[in-house]
Structure 1
């Protein structure tokens, strides 16, 4: 090979190497910029049974999702917290959720729902025409297949002891408790199919055995469910919480999942949820 040809080959290799290095730096910078942007769509937080967006007691403000909105905003997302009827039926709560989402100045949203809020969202997406406005639904501790606690509670307290009649006389809604029974949820799942184009995902909160991380108030219900159905979060069986893509399983009781525990790092949990959505381009 002549010296001229060798020089040309070396020059070409240097040029190609330089272009490759520039391309690598560009793609890396692009990934960094994308990571810093946050999510493509804003987040809507949907509360569970007997929940709220926030309440003020005396001079103190309490959030249902304790510390979560601030953490998600810190990560780079717009966050909206919705309030629905605390003990209304799934259909009533879903209507309120749908109206709230439609009122937002956003093409689509990512709904993160705790407990019954996940059922409200599924109903709104499937039955109330909200599918085009929702990019993803991530449920946490949601009783997609009901919970035995609702079965025994409605049967013994609501019907046998007459609490349902009393609440009706006092104009207190009780439909939510009956909607969470295993029989009602079996019917719900037949009538409320997932919508195409929406990512359905879930996180499962569960303990394999009794632990100090469990809120002591939930110990009786945890033991009851453990005997009946196995691992649970003190309110909902682990198997009932699975819907769509399971993002993960966390050792957090039903209240710790929304930040109401010093034994569980809820902010880090929601940061990982945020990352899971971001990796999927949401």
Structure 2
């Protein structure tokens, strides 16, 4: 594949998940991956939106970036590749903010399409604990994007299994003009895949409630649309974050594979 040749017809918008910690040392959670894809002639963009905001708010920010991308590239449509909560943002953007007019496909990676029991870990803590953690999240959010809204507790409410399955999914159905593809990640308990030590306790907690998972999202929750399979990587390594020992996984190569799949499977059908 020759570098610099725009073999992928449409540009790619990469949508990140919840949290500011993965931004340490980066301009964006997925910015290193976007730069890697650009080396292969892919018009990939990885902007940053409010890291601790509810789905609807984040989706409106993504809509602005989508519009800017369309204007910059003059492309009629884009592909979306979303990690974690970014997949829920993308679904809202497509179905509730007319994003379907400009989106060909949405690929989600470890998105909690049926919620994550991990959200209850903080929401069921004492009020003082919730307040202190929310204040820390607000400071981190201000450090990343000074003008961005920060509402950690409201964001976590959007990720509970009860909210996603009973409210979000019925109100945000798939749009028939968009292809929905999903992948899950798996590491830690009941697998032979080593997990990043700092999220191992989270994986054990989710395993007790939902089974196999990647430290943040259960495999069964990540299934949506056309399910492609399970990656031997925890939630952090899926986007190239290596914070200690764990299973080897090349996130950049995987995202390149996703772009190749989009080109050969979806764009070829358009031709």
Question: What band does the TM-score fall into relative to the shorter chain?
Answer: 0.7 to 0.9
SS in 2 for 1:201: strand
Larger Rg: 1
Task: Report the number of matched residues.
Answer: 243
C-alpha offsets along residues 244-268 of structure 1, whole Å, 9 cap, x if unaligned?
1122310110011101137211122
The equivalent position to 2:131 in structure 1, one of 158, 163, 166, is: 163
CA shift at 1:209, angstroms? 2.5
CA shift at 1:76, angstroms? 2.4
Query: Distance in 1 between the 2:21 and 2:235 partners?
Result: 15
The equivalent position to 1:271 in structure 2, one of 244, 247, 256, is: 256
Q: Is 1:76 the counterpart of 2:41 in the alignment?
A: yes
Seen in structure 2, the aligned counterparts of structure 1 residues 162 and 49 have a Cα distance that, compared at 3 Å, is closer
1:205 aligns with 185
SS in 1 for 2:266: coil
Query: Distance in 2 between the 1:108 and 1:51 partners?
Result: 29
Map of 1:1-282 to 2, 5 A cutoff?
37-51=6-20, 61-65=26-30, 67-104=32-69, 105=71, 106-157=75-126, 159=127, 161-163=129-131, 167=135, 172-174=150-152, 175-186=154-165, 187-207=167-187, 209-211=190-192, 213-261=194-242, 263-282=248-267
Seen in structure 2, the aligned counterparts of structure 1 residues 271 and 183 have a Cα distance that, compared at 3 Å, is same
Q: How does the TM-score come out when normalised to structure 1? A: 0.78
CA shift at 1:204, angstroms? 0.7
C-alpha offsets along residues 181-211 of structure 1, whole Å, 9 cap, x if unaligned?
1111011001001112111111110136255
Q: How does the TM-score come out when normalised to structure 2? A: 0.81
Query: Distance in 2 between the 1:62 and 1:252 partners?
Result: 23
Unaligned runs of 5+ in 2: 139-148
Query: Distance in 1 between the 2:32 and 2:249 partners?
Result: 13
Note the aligned Cα RMSD (angstroms).
Answer: 2.7
Unaligned runs of 5+ in 1: 1-31
CA contact under 8 A between 1:40 and 1:281: conserved in structure 2? Answer: no
Query: Distance in 2 between the 1:172 and 1:281 partners?
Result: 37
Query: Distance in 2 between the 1:177 and 1:133 partners?
Result: 29
